[in-house]
Structure 1
Amino acid sequence: MRALLKMKSQLIGMFVLVLVTIGPVRVRSLNPSLNDDVLGLIVFKADILDPKGKLVSWNEDDDSPCNWVGIKCNPRSNRVSELNLDGFSLSGRMGRGLLQLQFLRKLSLARNNLTGSISSSIARVDNLRVLDLSDNSLSGAIPEEFFRQCGSLRVISLAKNKFSGKISDSLSSCSTLASVNLSSNQFSGSLPFGIWSLNGLRSLDLSDNSLVGELPEVIQGLNNLRAINLSKNRFSGMVPNGIGSCLLLRSIDLSENLFSGSLPDTLRKLSLCNYLNLCKNSFAGEVPDSIGEMKSLEILDLSANGFSGQLPSSIGNLQSLKALNLSANRFTGSLPGSMADCANLVALDLSRNSLTGDLPTWIFKSELQEVSISKNELGGSVSSHLSSSLGSSPGRLEILDLSHNAFSGGIASSLGVLSRLQFLNLSKNFLVGPIPATIGELKTLDVLDLSNNRLNGSIPLEIGGVVSLYELRLDKNFISGKIPASIENCSSLTTFIVSHNRLSGLIPAAIAQLTNLRNVDLSFNNLSGGLPRQLANLPHLLSFNISHNNLQGELPAGGFFNTISPFSVTGNPSLCGSVANKSCPTVLPKPIVLNPNSSSDSTSGSLPPNLRHKRIILSVSALIAIGAAAVIIIGVISITVLNLHVRSSTSRSAAALAFSAGDDFSHSPTTDANSGKLVMFSGDPDFSTGAHALLNKDCELGRGGFGAVYQTVIRDGHAVAIKKLTVSSLVKSQDDFEREVKKLGKVRHPNLVALEGYYWTPSLQLLIYEFISGGNLYKHLHEGVGGNFLSWNERFNIILGTAKSLAYLHQLNIIHYNIKSSNVLIDSTGEPKVGDFGLARLLPMLDRYVLSSKIQSALGYMAPEFSCRTVKITEKCDVYGFGVLVLEVVTGKRPVEYMEDDVVVLCDMVRGALEEGRVEECVDERLRGNFPAEEAIPVMKLALICTSQVPSNRPDMAEVVNILELIICPSEGQEELE
């Protein structure tokens, strides 16, 4: 049945093609029962995908389409007059079926996912008045013939697509056009001159393209124009005086271009204009006083230009003004008092200028809701202005930013009257005195920044009343006393910065109740005591700086504190732990150690006190017997020594073979006194369940420079990976080996493979790691593990996680030496886990030749200093290997690839592409079209910096982590990586 329907649709399609070719009149004369509209719409439907079944009512067996979804017909002719499929989630290409709708007046296919180019015939329909193809994925250039056939077209919108090329000169032939919207595309070049002759045009929107050129004086020909939007292009030159002749203009947006010069005085004629946006250009000079004659203005934005001089007092004439933005200019002088007459003003932004004088009182008396006057030179007492202005009035202010000025005096207690306040920034002034208790009355306050002042007193207990607070900054003041426990009521708090004050006492455990905390800075105070252990339970913590206090004891264990930076705890002499680089006096539980060569008393520490006491008594009472036995033993030693020697050799051989393929495995590795030493840092050391793994080649996971790795199972199903070291002849003595391995066993980081234990005999050494199930990065990149390739987000996560792990190792003075994609494992959640770290420390000396031979499989990752004996090997060799790894992850190519006639070094290839301006082409082709260039390109640039030939030119891994976090979450004021 489906095959018949498909054949039927194909026949209909062929039939419509004939209709388009020879004309509808001739075909209807052959078969007048056929409906052209039905045929055309069915063919249109056949060319697109309808995933939500919106067009299910379209049936080719119907005599008329007038009852179909999205269709409107002329009641007299019963022909389709309107096709509106906005937001139907349709995809595919627009076919020729629509050309059959000869009586169509409106065609709207907006907010779908249609692709392909636009046909020059789509505007051929004689009666078409409205064409809306906005918000799709159409691409290519607009055909030259498109606008030549526009007939009686009045409204056209191709906004939010991917059209490119120049805007055709033929646009001027559409004399009936009233509205043109070509915004948010990729059009380039200059505008066709004829566009300024469309005197019927009421709305012109060409914003968000790459158009260039200057505006001609003949813009005055658009005397019916109501709205013009040329923002986000590259237009330059001066705004022509002729704009003042477009008397009907209500909206002008020329923002984010390259316009320069002064404002034309003819703007005064635009008495109907209610929106004027000229921000982010290069305008200069004074704002003409005639601006006050544009009395209909509701929004005026002149920000981010080069305007200078005093603010014109005529602004007070703008009675309808609701939003005024003059920020980021060079205005001087004081705020004109006439601005108090702007009775409808709601938002005022005068920040980043050079304004002087006092803060005007009308700010607090008016209808203003948002005020920003930051980064000026205003002075005077904020307290007096607040007290005299507010009284008992609740005020309407929601945002008040007076930061970075020269205000003095205290903070008035009447501040609590501003009950609607959500954002208050008084930072970087000269405010003195205490924080008023009335701060607790600001129930809707989200952000409070009083930093960089001269405030004293204590943090008021009433701060707990600010229940909506999510950012509190009080740093760089003279605040003393304790951190109030009432802070726990601010349950939304994410940022708590009180550094560089005089706070004392304990860190309240109440802080641990703030589960949304991300950034905490308590540094440079006089805090004492220990840190509440509950802090380790904070799930979202990103930074916690307690440096330069008098804190003591051990840091909380777990969570963020496992990876806290040493810089965040310095300056606390009594703090202890690995991060503080000072051992704690408390005795931690010892790891499980099974050493058959030790005396039986070595396990007595785990016995109950009563049994331990009995055991001591028994040992003393048996001394006489032991002494007698000793005499006998000495007498027979000379007889048995040879036998003992033979047994010892046999046991050692058996132990070594037990972990080798092809021999029996001891079911109880601790029963033979000479079988070796097994140490597990936690849990049951029973290996019997995993014996078969080392006997079976199929359980081998891989081989590297330091040995082979096998998978096995211990402790009732607990999977581990066992590395059988093949560097026995180079391994240190047992004491040195165990000392180094125990150090590595204490290293814990979410992005490092955990070392769980080890096994030692003179001829065999095993390292026992946690088992990571997802395979290594090399296989994911080059062998397609699981049949899927890594997305950009997954790759970035791997890069960032690997960087964090290396930064952590370097904090512990551990150099990896062997960075490569096969040593980066991927766990079941997609998180990277770096393995094989610190193994070079097991060698008796860090000899370059030995290291090079052991990591020769890392060809392409090795830093150039390995080949130069006069250059010191430092953690910068890890930075080099990491840079190569990043390029491998982004490009999907191996560090060194051998061609038939050439050898391609990845670093050199990417560096050359960057110099030629085509670095984006280096991204893995499997990611084409599915990666953000604003992230990928800086990441590759960072990788090239990491692979600098000079070690001192490479950044530290901690700096690398910071840069990566800025790339994924750029902050204001941060410059892009060059």
Structure 2
Amino acid sequence: MLLKMAGPAAKFRLCFFVFGVVVSSLGYSAAQSSQDALYLRQLKSGFDDPNGFFLSWNDNDASPCKWKGVTCDVTGNVTAIDLSDGNIAGEFPAIACRLPALRNLSLAYNNVNGSIREEDLGRCETLEWLDLSQNILVGELPDFISKLTNLQYLDLSSNNFSGIIPPGFGNLPKLQVLSLHANLLNSTVPAYLGNLTSLVQLNLAWNPTITGTLPPELGNLINLENLWVAACSIGGKIPSELGNLLHLTNFDISQNQFTGSIPESIAKLKNVVQIELYSNKLSGPIPSAMGDLKALKRFDASSNMLNGSIPDGFGSLDLESLNLYENNLTGKIPPGLGSLASLTELKLFSNKLTGALPENLGRNCPLETLDLATNQLSGSLPPHLCRMKSLQVLSVFSNQFSGALPETLGSCTSLMRVRLGYNEFNGTVPESLWGLSHLSLLELRHNKFEGSISSSIAGAKNLSQLDITGNKFSGDMPEQIGELWNITEIIAGNNLFSGNLPRSLVNLLRLARLDLGNNQITGNLLTEIESWQQLTDLNLKNNKLIGSIPEALGSLPVLTYLDLSGNELSGSIPKELGNLKLNTFNVSDNRLSGPVPSVLENAAYEDSFLGNPGLCSVSQLNGIATCGSASRRRSTGWLMGCIFALAGIILIVGLAWFYRRYRNFDRAEGKDKNKNNKNKAFMDKSSWMLTSFHRLGFSEYEILDCLDEDNVIGTGGAGKVYKATLSNGETVAVKRLWSSGKSREEADFNDNGFKAEVDTLGKIRHKNIVKLWCCCAHRDSNLLVYEYMPNGSLGDLLHGPKASVLDWPIRYRIAVGAAQGLAYLHHDCVPAIAHRDVKSNNILLDGDFVAHVADFGLAKILQSCGRGTDSMSTIAGSYGYIAPEYAYTLKVNEKSDIYSFGVVMLELVTGRRPVDPAFGENKDLVKWVCTRIEKKNALEEILDPKLVGCFKEEMAMVLKVALLCTSALPINRPSMRRVVEMLQEANPLHKAKGSVKSGKLSPYYYEEPSVPDSP
């Protein structure tokens, strides 16, 4: 309009002005873009870039808009920088805040370190999005964050921030997402977070040192959709004001210390989809009004102290998952649960529920997990549990169920775990149930089942545990049982089985436990059993076995339990059994004859030979005749005569020797005087007390004579280790613990603690744990005498100055052996023992490279002996092996052992040390592997290049197990018993049918069984 009204001259001037403005603007944009590029080049120079993230950042480019991770607006100004997952390292780039148009900045999943200073972040006033998650930032949270008034998204999670949540965090009016989870924050959740009325997500979980209570002011967050405050240490009652969060869809305050009842106001959360209250101390009933939460899909209030009944209203919801296990709930399971169309998981175990199951349970829903164990439920199992062919876990043990099993279970091909023990089921097991191809555990123990094991069991190729003890099964054990290549346990005692032992049992290479005791099995013991290299328990007691005990039993390397009592075995006891390290050994009540092998004449086995009239013993075992007693009486007179004759000769020779010795006494006394004075306190042998845990062929005097500096083979924070070669040709390792330096009274007290701990260690018997022969105690010194390991430690062989290339089969055998030793400590010792310093240097190798776990529990021993603890790695573990939760809890338990063992497996797979400067600053082996695991050719970079070849698939399988064990969350780590099972699946001598392809390799999640193996 203006151009139409203006004259020609005016039109020219106006067009020229507009042209000038456009040219000026373009010139400004070009200049600003060039300035932005300069800032970004300075930003790049502040980072280490081992993976070449910045390769596209060409210094010759005038504009940075095509650089990787850089976004510009239409005028060429940099508005966003995304350097996430670049494996870059360095401090926070303060230079980025000079970019005038920067709105988004992400440095997530890197190694950004140091703390955040005001001069670094205070200038970033234009930021709307800031993501610094998954780094290694430290120090306190920045209080000046309130200057960033435009922030809508702030993620500082998974770092090492400490201290409080500053008041400035309550003054961010536009903030929609606040994520501070997985840090080291302490103090309490501040009430001023209730000022963030625009907030949609509040994530404070996994800060174990956040204490106090949850402030009711959080009820002001009327736009909040996600509240995640799990795994802190928050207590008190759940604020009823949280019922005002009408937009809330996810409510997770699990794994805290909340007390009191679930507030009735929770029923006002009409949009809530998931409620997680598990692992608190909540009591009282579940509010019945929660049955009106029509949007609710998942509810977990397990591991509390809730009582009352399950609300009937739950049966009218569209639940997918209901977890109420480990409470004090009573009453019946609501019948409506049987009509749910989306239910996949129902876990109600360890309550006091009664009555029958809903008749339609499983008919209309894709039920995957049904765990009702340890209740008082009765009646029969519903027939439609697996109608949708989805059921994987069926666990109802320790109830009062009765009747026959539904025939439909035999067609449930999805089943993986079946646990029906300790009920009153009867009848026969559906024939096809025996042979389900995905079944890994079938436990029917202590019921009233009858019939025989079907030959269809040959189809159960994935079966690892078969437990049918305490029933009325009869007939022959089928030969097809020898086709279960993956089975580790066959427990079928206390039944009515007859016939011979199936010869196909020798094909079971992974068998660890065979229990057929208290049956009517006849015939001979199997002889070709060298394949049972994993067998630890063999129980065939109280059968009708005949013939001799095979010598091959003595060649089973890890057998620790052997019970052949109550049979009709004959012949002699093979001396080869002395090669075994048996915790339990019993051959009583047979027809054995001949002498007991001398190596078995041990006080630990004094009742192991009773009821065999033909047996005799040299050392007068309990209830056993003495070998050669009659001939000994006939020769008594002759021996007495010889003794008197020799006595006279010895007396004459002795007098002559004494005379010559006395003549040189003065010279000898002067020569040895200084030496005797020097060692008098330590070598006063009469003051030492020996406690043995095995039958010894040496005395404490021999041990003391070997404590010479020439025999030292190692020195550490605990003391010195000596190699002692004894007169009987045996070699032992002697660990002399450092003197406490305490008073006599304190030393006596500490010695008592030392003896108490040693008594515990002395009872441990396992092939993969270093044997403690004995201990010798002195008023201020203690000696531990172990079996000697000629190949030293795994750490020395992998990384030491004389490191050698161990091939993969040897490394694999070491991993399995060490895992079996730790599993014994965790699962088979009562009470369980946490090693607390698992590392490759504490895994010793014998002459056959069999792994032996050493130094377990030593930190506790030393503590009880009054030793210093500040510098001892055994108190908190060793650098590179310490589980991440130690920083939060300052405690080490069996889950910490599992993490440390995962590091050992990574050492075996990669050939690298747990800590190496090549990994980069503040990185260990676990972090190094995790940064490479998602790459295209991960295996080629991670696996030890000296070994990768025909065992690549097996090494990758062990790598997966190691990644599971080194999970950051302890709950995600498998038990050591499960680790052993997974490692056995990676046996390089028996390749698995599946394969691991080269390329991306991701760890999988493993969930522990929800209930123990037995009530």
TM-score, normalised via structure 1 length: 0.61
Provide the C-alpha distance between the structure 2 equivalents of 1:966 and 1:50, rounded to a whole number of angstroms: 41
Provide the C-alpha distance between the structure 2 equivalents of 1:87 and 1:822, rounded to a whole number of angstroms: 34
Instruction: Select 1:151's aligned residue among 149, 152, 162.
Output: 149
> Shift of residue 199 of structure 1?
0.4
Provide the C-alpha distance between the structure 2 equivalents of 1:796 and 1:175, rounded to a whole number of angstroms: 56
532 and 180 in structure 1: CA distance in 2 versus 1, 3 angstrom threshold = same
> Shift of residue 524 of structure 1?
3.0
Three-state SS of the structure 1 residue aligned to 2:308 is strand
> Shift of residue 247 of structure 1?
1.1
> Shift of residue 504 of structure 1?
2.5
> Shift of residue 407 of structure 1?
0.9
The corresponding residue for 1:165 is 163
722 and 417 in structure 1: CA distance in 2 versus 1, 3 angstrom threshold = closer
Three-state SS of the structure 1 residue aligned to 2:41 is helix
> Shift of residue 223 of structure 1?
0.7
Preserved CA contact (<8 Å) 2:533 2:558: no
Q: Which letter does structure 1 place at the counterpart of 2:574?
A: G
Provide the C-alpha distance between the structure 2 equivalents of 1:414 and 1:158, rounded to a whole number of angstroms: 52
Q: What whole-Å deviation, never above 9, does each CA across 1:233-255 have from its counterpart, x for those lacking one? A: 12222222222221111111111
Provide the C-alpha distance between the structure 2 equivalents of 1:264 and 1:822, rounded to a whole number of angstroms: 53
| 1:411 and 2:409 are equivalent in the alignment | no
The corresponding residue for 2:342 is 344
Q: Which letter does structure 2 place at the counterpart of 1:497?
A: I
Preserved CA contact (<8 Å) 1:708 1:724: no
Three-state SS of the structure 2 residue aligned to 1:160 is coil
Instruction: Select 1:110's aligned residue among 99, 108, 122.
Output: 108
> Shift of residue 363 of structure 1?
0.9
137 and 520 in structure 1: CA distance in 2 versus 1, 3 angstrom threshold = farther
Provide the C-alpha distance between the structure 2 equivalents of 1:117 and 1:457, rounded to a whole number of angstroms: 70
Provide the C-alpha distance between the structure 2 equivalents of 1:749 and 1:350, rounded to a whole number of angstroms: 39
Q: What whole-Å deviation, never above 9, does each CA across 1:878-906 have from its counterpart, x for those lacking one? A: xxxx8xx6577x79xxx9xxxxxxxxx88
Identity of aligned residues (%): 27
The corresponding residue for 1:247 is 246
Q: What whole-Å deviation, never above 9, does each CA across 1:438-493 have from its counterpart, x for those lacking one? A: 32463332321111112222222222233332222111222222211112333332
The corresponding residue for 1:398 is 392
The corresponding residue for 1:561 is 556
The corresponding residue for 1:180 is 178
Preserved CA contact (<8 Å) 1:225 1:248: yes
Three-state SS of the structure 2 residue aligned to 1:310 is coil
906 and 232 in structure 1: CA distance in 2 versus 1, 3 angstrom threshold = closer
935 and 833 in structure 1: CA distance in 2 versus 1, 3 angstrom threshold = farther
> Shift of residue 935 of structure 1?
12
Q: Which letter does structure 2 place at the counterpart of 1:238?
A: K
Three-state SS of the structure 2 residue aligned to 1:315 is helix
| 1:233 and 2:232 are equivalent in the alignment | yes
The corresponding residue for 2:52 is 53
Instruction: Select 2:453's aligned residue among 430, 450, 459.
Output: 459
Q: What whole-Å deviation, never above 9, does each CA across 1:697-731 have from its counterpart, x for those lacking one? A: xxxxxx94699999xxxxxxxxxx99796999xxx
The corresponding residue for 2:36 is 37
Provide the C-alpha distance between the structure 2 equivalents of 1:941 and 1:67, rounded to a whole number of angstroms: 46
The corresponding residue for 2:190 is 192
Three-state SS of the structure 2 residue aligned to 1:537 is coil
Provide the C-alpha distance between the structure 2 equivalents of 1:823 and 1:468, rounded to a whole number of angstroms: 34
Q: What whole-Å deviation, never above 9, does each CA across 1:71-91 have from its counterpart, x for those lacking one? A: 1111x2212222122222222
> Shift of residue 300 of structure 1?
1.1
Preserved CA contact (<8 Å) 2:537 2:562: no
| 1:216 and 2:215 are equivalent in the alignment | yes
Three-state SS of the structure 1 residue aligned to 2:210 is strand
Instruction: Select 1:468's aligned residue among 453, 462, 465.
Output: 462
Provide the C-alpha distance between the structure 1 equivalents of 2:389 and 2:302, rounded to a whole number of angstroms: 27
Preserved CA contact (<8 Å) 2:226 2:248: yes
Provide the C-alpha distance between the structure 2 equivalents of 1:396 and 1:58, rounded to a whole number of angstroms: 52
The corresponding residue for 1:841 is none
Provide the C-alpha distance between the structure 1 equivalents of 2:397 and 2:586, rounded to a whole number of angstroms: 40
The corresponding residue for 1:577 is 574
The corresponding residue for 2:302 is 303
Provide the C-alpha distance between the structure 1 equivalents of 2:850 and 2:389, rounded to a whole number of angstroms: 51
The corresponding residue for 1:9 is none
Q: What whole-Å deviation, never above 9, does each CA across 1:643-694 have from its counterpart, x for those lacking one? A: xxxxxxxxxxxxxxxxxxxxxxxxxxxxxxxxxxxxxxxxxxxxxxxxxxxx
Provide the C-alpha distance between the structure 1 equivalents of 2:820 and 2:510, rounded to a whole number of angstroms: 23
Provide the C-alpha distance between the structure 1 equivalents of 2:823 and 2:490, rounded to a whole number of angstroms: 27
Three-state SS of the structure 1 residue aligned to 2:247 is coil
Instruction: Select 2:865's aligned residue among 908, 925, 928.
Output: 908
> Shift of residue 55 of structure 1?
1.7
Provide the C-alpha distance between the structure 1 equivalents of 2:409 and 2:824, rounded to a whole number of angstroms: 44
> Shift of residue 290 of structure 1?
0.9
TM-score, normalised via structure 2 length: 0.59
The corresponding residue for 1:119 is 117
* Structure 1 residues 172-571: aligned runs within 5 Å: 172-209=170-207, 210-318=209-317, 320-367=318-365, 368-382=367-381, 385-386=382-383, 389=384, 395-440=389-434, 442-551=436-545, 552-555=547-550, 557=552, 561-571=556-566
Three-state SS of the structure 1 residue aligned to 2:192 is helix
Provide the C-alpha distance between the structure 1 equivalents of 2:34 and 2:340, rounded to a whole number of angstroms: 63
Three-state SS of the structure 1 residue aligned to 2:362 is helix
Q: Which letter does structure 2 place at the counterpart of 1:490?
A: L
Three-state SS of the structure 1 residue aligned to 2:248 is coil
Provide the C-alpha distance between the structure 2 equivalents of 1:299 and 1:478, rounded to a whole number of angstroms: 41
> Shift of residue 968 of structure 1?
9.1
886 and 321 in structure 1: CA distance in 2 versus 1, 3 angstrom threshold = closer
Provide the C-alpha distance between the structure 2 equivalents of 1:824 and 1:444, rounded to a whole number of angstroms: 35
Provide the C-alpha distance between the structure 1 equivalents of 2:163 and 2:226, rounded to a whole number of angstroms: 24
> Shift of residue 930 of structure 1?
7.5
Q: Which letter does structure 1 place at the counterpart of 2:169?
A: L
The corresponding residue for 1:734 is none
Q: Which letter does structure 2 place at the counterpart of 1:43?
A: Q
Preserved CA contact (<8 Å) 2:171 2:195: no
> Shift of residue 823 of structure 1?
14
> Shift of residue 36 of structure 1?
3.2
**Count of residue correspondences:** 674
Provide the C-alpha distance between the structure 2 equivalents of 1:822 and 1:489, rounded to a whole number of angstroms: 39
Q: CA RMSD in A?
A: 4.8
> Shift of residue 931 of structure 1?
9.0
Provide the C-alpha distance between the structure 1 equivalents of 2:817 and 2:557, rounded to a whole number of angstroms: 19
Provide the C-alpha distance between the structure 2 equivalents of 1:68 and 1:501, rounded to a whole number of angstroms: 74
> Shift of residue 923 of structure 1?
5.3
Provide the C-alpha distance between the structure 2 equivalents of 1:181 and 1:434, rounded to a whole number of angstroms: 56
> Shift of residue 276 of structure 1?
1.0
Preserved CA contact (<8 Å) 1:707 1:724: no
80 and 230 in structure 1: CA distance in 2 versus 1, 3 angstrom threshold = same
Q: What whole-Å deviation, never above 9, does each CA across 1:52-103 have from its counterpart, x for those lacking one? A: 21221223232122111121111x2212222122222222333333223332
Provide the C-alpha distance between the structure 2 equivalents of 1:924 and 1:217, rounded to a whole number of angstroms: 41
Provide the C-alpha distance between the structure 2 equivalents of 1:477 and 1:272, rounded to a whole number of angstroms: 50
Three-state SS of the structure 2 residue aligned to 1:456 is strand
Three-state SS of the structure 2 residue aligned to 1:431 is strand
Q: What whole-Å deviation, never above 9, does each CA across 1:779-826 have from its counterpart, x for those lacking one? A: 969x975599xx9x9999889979999xxxxxxxxxxxxxxx999975
Preserved CA contact (<8 Å) 2:817 2:852: no
Q: Which letter does structure 1 place at the counterpart of 2:377?
A: L
Q: Mind listing any 5+ residue stretches in structure 2 that lack a counterpart?
A: 1-26, 578-584, 596-704, 713-722, 731-764, 772-786, 805-810, 826-839, 898-974, 981-1007
> Shift of residue 307 of structure 1?
1.8
Preserved CA contact (<8 Å) 1:376 1:405: yes
Between Structure 1 and Structure 2, whose CA radius of gyration is higher? Answer: 1
832 and 403 in structure 1: CA distance in 2 versus 1, 3 angstrom threshold = closer
107 and 553 in structure 1: CA distance in 2 versus 1, 3 angstrom threshold = farther
Q: What whole-Å deviation, never above 9, does each CA across 1:406-453 have from its counterpart, x for those lacking one? A: 011222334323333222221110112222323246333232111111
472 and 188 in structure 1: CA distance in 2 versus 1, 3 angstrom threshold = same
* Structure 1 residues 644-683: aligned runs within 5 Å: none
Provide the C-alpha distance between the structure 1 equivalents of 2:469 and 2:845, rounded to a whole number of angstroms: 41
45 and 520 in structure 1: CA distance in 2 versus 1, 3 angstrom threshold = farther
Provide the C-alpha distance between the structure 1 equivalents of 2:549 and 2:476, rounded to a whole number of angstroms: 21
Q: Which letter does structure 1 place at the counterpart of 2:496?
A: R
